[in-house]
Amino acid sequence: DDEVLDFIVARYGDYVLLDPPFKPSTWALWVGPPIMAGAVFALIIIFIRTWQTQQAATEEVDTLTPTDRAALDALVERIADLRDAAGAAKELERARQLGADAADWAVPLAQAYLALEEPRKVLEELEPAQLRAPLIRARLHAVRGEALQRLGDAARAEQESTEALALAPDDAEVLAAAAQFALVAGRREQAADYVGRALAAAPESSKAWLVSGELARREGRLEEALQAYAKALELDPREH
């Protein structure tokens, strides 16, 4: 038997033995199975922990309070609005590239940039001087004023507002923007005058109703504020 085993080992190697000797040429036979078993065990542990993490995340979502869920829904709506603004900005930029009249895209593009929280783009890419129509130029001045207001440049914002009012003193959009600026600057009487004139010129102006609501809120007239906010939302559910 020993001669037969010696012959087989000589011909095929130690791997054919049920109990091979422990030497460099057979290390794989001795060490391989424990390593493979450890790897399989580690994969099982990773799988179990991943599954537990996913379950915990699911349970966390399922235990949201009604208030938290409402906030989450509002955030989803806000994201959808931003996507729409991004799409609008893209189409308006394309119109500009194709050579469309600036009167058709300048103000909507500025408003889209503001909705996307990009006030610097309004200032860097859109100049009133490129517009011929006084009304459109005035409205662009008004949007630029809001952009400057968001950037904290009150002096230049007031200059833009003044230029807008000089060009279109009776336009509802210009008046609503001027009212908003005056309100932020703490000039409530002036804000009330502007917003009153805006609503007289265009009762359907959601922005004017929004500023009216904010003015009423700051003055403690909460019921009037709620009514004004409701009117703004009724006219334009996506306004702010």
pLDDT digits (tens, 9 = 90+) for 57-112: 444 444 456 666 565 555 445 544 545 778 888 888 888 888 888 888 999 999 99
User: What are the backbone angles phi and psi of residue 239, rounded to the nearest 5°?
Assistant: -75, 110
Gyration radius of the chain over CA positions: 35
pLDDT attached to residue 74: 56
The per-residue pLDDT string of the chain (240 residues; one tens digit each, 9 = 90 and over) reads 455 445 444 554 444 444 555 555 555 555 556 666 666 666 776 766 665 555 554 444 444 566 665 655 554 455 445 457 788 888 888 888 888 888 889 999 999 999 889 999 999 999 998 899 999 999 999 999 999 999 999 999 999 999 999 999 999 999 999 999 999 889 999 999 999 999 999 999 999 999 999 999 989 998 999 999 889 888 876 554
pLDDT attached to residue 53: 58
pLDDT attached to residue 12: 46
pLDDT attached to residue 166: 96
Cβ-based neighbour number of residue 174 at 10 Å: 28
pLDDT attached to residue 15: 45
Contact 14, 25 (CB under 8 A): yes
CA angle 61, 62, 64 (to 5 degrees): 70
Taking each helix axis from N to C end, the angle separating 206-218 and 222-235, rounded to the nearest 10 degrees, works out to 160
pLDDT attached to residue 138: 96
Task: Return d(Cα 86, Cα 183) in angstroms, integer.
Answer: 29
User: What are the backbone angles phi and psi of residue 213, rounded to the nearest 5°?
Assistant: -65, -40
pTM, entire model: 0.63
CA 35 to the chain's CA centroid: 49
Q: Which residue has the tokens 């009776």?
A: 170
Q: Which string of b and e fits 91-104 if b means at least 16 CB within 10 Å?
A: ebeebbeeeeebbe
